[in-house]
Amino acid sequence: MRQPTRLERRIDGAAHRLLAGAPTSGVRSVLVEVGVFVLKQAWACVFGASLLVVIVAARLWYPDDAALARNDFLTIAAVVIQIAMLATRLETGRELWVIVLFHVTGTVMELFKTDVGSWMYEVEGVLRIGGVPLFSGFMYAAVGSYMVRVYRLFDLGFTRYPKRWLTAIVAAAIYANFFTHHWIWDFRWVLLVAVVLLWARTVMYARVWRAVIRMPLLAAFGGVAVFIYLAENIGTWAGAWMYPDQLDGWQPVSITKLVSWFLLMIISVVLVAWVYPPRPPTAREQEISREQVDSV
């Protein structure tokens, strides 16, 4: 079982004391479970949400004539958030490695994609590599932070999870296709079919409070992809980066980007699986899930 950090153990203890008298059935019980689910999701998103708040605040209030370029300010703010996550033990050293890997793989993709004109950043500041400000890598790190935290907070279990070497091959092919489709045929639809075939039978078990949610893993992938797509719309509105069709004025990001984010989720899941190897649900978790279904 994945162990919570020291701060999370304290919060978990306080939550247990607060919810000790919560009803075990009826509408109030359901509302408690929904409330805990939302709070856990918010807690898992703390890095990404903090970074998004800073990006929006910089768009609304950062002075145009400031001596420090806005992109440099965003980079410094992202570093401060990451340091705070470690200092407060919201992330462990073990988790930091996978987050750094997200950062590196994301930055490499950013360098390539901006070079071929897929999207662009304002050319300002000194904390950048070419046309890519360094804060961009932290946006990928935010996805990594969410993945490792949600894995731990909900103590995820899986049935019929595919072989990890197979998932690694598919993830590598997806990452390569983000680059190669500029020169050869785009294989994303073939890769999408491969993902569906590989994970179609996988069921995820997530412990909330007393309840255990059971859902197809592909549905969870899709839900997170939608969430990231919404955050991307906020980020582009705030001017953190722009797509070519947004140069003459902001408009919603193309809905086709949902496929890209869904495929990126696969890379994310595979990376996290090397830190937290997927485990099967316990017999008790499966029993609770069956009891919930029978009671409906």
The band of 19, judged by pLDDT with boundaries at 50, 70 and 90, is confident
**Under 8 Å between Cβ of 269 and 167:** yes
For residue range 222-248, list pLDDT tens digits in order: 999 999 999 999 999 999 999 999 988
**What integer pLDDT is reported at residue 295 of this predicted model?**
59
CA distances from 101 to 11, 137, 156, 180, 197 (A): 28, 10, 22, 21, 27
**Under 8 Å between Cβ of 39 and 46:** no
**What integer pLDDT is reported at residue 74 of this predicted model?**
95
- Give the pair of three-digit tokens for residue 292: 């919930």
For residue range 142-194, list pLDDT tens digits in order: 988 898 888 888 889 999 999 999 999 999 999 999 999 999 999 999 999 99
**What integer pLDDT is reported at residue 117 of this predicted model?**
92
Could you tell me which residue, 25 or 198, shows the higher pLDDT?
Answer: 198
The band of 1, judged by pLDDT with boundaries at 50, 70 and 90, is very low
Residue 1 within any structural domain of the chain: no
Q: What is the mean pLDDT of residues 26-38?
A: 84
**What integer pLDDT is reported at residue 26 of this predicted model?**
73
Q: How many domains does the chain have?
A: 1
Burial class (CB in 10 A: 0-12, 13-18, 19+), 142: buried
For residue range 264-295, list pLDDT tens digits in order: 989 989 988 887 889 888 877 777 777 665 55
Task: Collect all residues with Cβ–Cβ distance below 8 Å to 126 and sequence separation of at least 6.
Answer: 69, 72
For residue range 44-103, list pLDDT tens digits in order: 999 999 999 999 999 999 998 899 999 999 999 999 999 998 888 888 777 788 888 888
**What integer pLDDT is reported at residue 2 of this predicted model?**
56
Output DSSP code: residue 4.
P
Residue 81 within any structural domain of the chain: yes
3-state secondary structure of 159: strand
**What integer pLDDT is reported at residue 115 of this predicted model?**
93
**What integer pLDDT is reported at residue 294 of this predicted model?**
55
**Under 8 Å between Cβ of 119 and 141:** no
Task: Print the domain residue range for 279.
Answer: 6-295
**Under 8 Å between Cβ of 144 and 152:** no
CA distances from 91 to 95, 136, 178, 296 (A): 6, 20, 29, 37
Count CB-CB contacts under 10 A for residue 277.
Answer: 9
**What integer pLDDT is reported at residue 291 of this predicted model?**
65
Residue 225 within any structural domain of the chain: yes
Q: What is the mean pLDDT of residues 206-212?
A: 86
Residue 36 within any structural domain of the chain: yes
Task: Collect all residues with Cβ–Cβ distance below 8 Å to 97 and sequence separation of at least 6.
Answer: 275
Q: How far apart are CA 136 and CA 114, in angstroms?
A: 11
Q: How far apart are CA 49 and CA 38, in angstroms?
A: 14
- Give the pair of three-digit tokens for residue 114: 């901006």
Say yes or no to pLDDT of 213 above 80: yes
